[in-house]
Structure 1
Amino acid sequence: MSTTNFESAGLPQAGYVQPVVVMNGPGRQGPAITSLVLGIVAAVFCLIPIVGMISLVLAPIGLGFGIVGWRGAAAGRRAGKGKAIAGVVLAILAGLGAIASTVAVATAVDEAGKSIDRAVGNATDDVLAKDLGVAIGTYRAKDLGFGLTDGKLTVTLTNKSSKRQSFDVKVEALTPSGTRIATDTAFVSALGPGQSDEVAMFEFVSGDDAAQLKSATFRVIQASAY
């Protein structure tokens, strides 16, 4: 009676347990999990103004881990392909969101700065070009005697913009040689689009200044809009 040699046949002997190698353990999903976590965090942060700039750092890192995990899974060396794909998608969306958020904040800050400059007279050329028309008339004065002078320079201010605004205009008077005689400021409040208003300037000056103002040159040196 013959017996079967299990060992020579390459079969496991009785009582022998074949070891099982787990090739899909957590360690092989590391890049995919890292990408997913970074993608989620970046996606949350990108929605918060200023703080969203953190996503500009996290998103590229998450994208890199996601690509590594995705390629590894495609080649059969790693697991977690779904997590890797999700991480890549989230990283891309978070990066785009962070860029958009950063641009929006930068634009808002820039616009706020421009508004402040326009309101305090630091953007005179821009105000005169886009918002305010200034027509300077002729200075006229009448000697009242006793050193008193009744003078007036009529300045017409026109709102050239499409919204209601208030304006301040500072005008200087110069002698023919370019020496400043005096300055005065005109103000109009809540002028509607296309509306004009006349303002009297240089009404309260001394008799000597009034005599010089008759031959003076007038120019706008500062304009504010708000």
Structure 2
Amino acid sequence: MSEHSLKAASRKVEGKGASRRLRHAGVIPAIVYGGKSEPRSIELQHEKTWLASQNEWFYSSIIDLEIDGKSEKVLLRDMQRHPYKQLIMHLDFQRVTAGQALRTSVPLHFINEDKSAAGKAADVVVTHELNEVQISCLPKDLPEFIEVDLAELELGQTIHLSEIKLPKGVEIPELKLGKEHDVAVVVARAGRVEVDDAPADEASAEVPAAKVEKDEE
């Protein structure tokens, strides 16, 4: 598990007006909650946080959040973005407790697709049905991503959730809910064959009846 960090400061003022002023000043209002401590209002510099948010780890890794010089381990739980500007409006972070299992979503990385029989075939379409999966594990076992090896993928094959090779200490809670929750992750289907030249009689059959009647008048 890689270590990533962000710096923040305590937020003294709250409310919509105060948050709006912070954003105009290039600061993101945020909150930290969970664990044995009370929720805490904080603020982060927008530019540095925006750059961090361009990385995959920002959404799925434990972050060392340094608040006024004191570090807390947290997970990002919610991000509010501006509808059309490159602007983060608000962030929610949840504290992480070392010995307590957590649930979060991590991205799936698909590898070796180009080496598989399905990936090499021009008439096969490989569809990634999921791009992330919710897992449960202790904080020390949290992976930044999970690899799905497609080296043996063939036409007509479907890889299900239960077939994903998980890192040690990691499980998928959804699989405990029954077989119907063992959904497809990857599917290799035959591609659609396009016909360029339709037969002459077939082409004439597609002429609308109204057009034919008009031509005959």
Structure with the larger strand share: 2
Q: Please confirm whether the aligned pair reaches a TM-score higher than 0.5, indicating the same fold.
A: no
TM-score, scaled relative to structure 1: 0.20
TM-score, scaled relative to structure 2: 0.20
Structure with the larger helix share: 1
Between structure 1 and structure 2, the one with the greater Rg is: 1
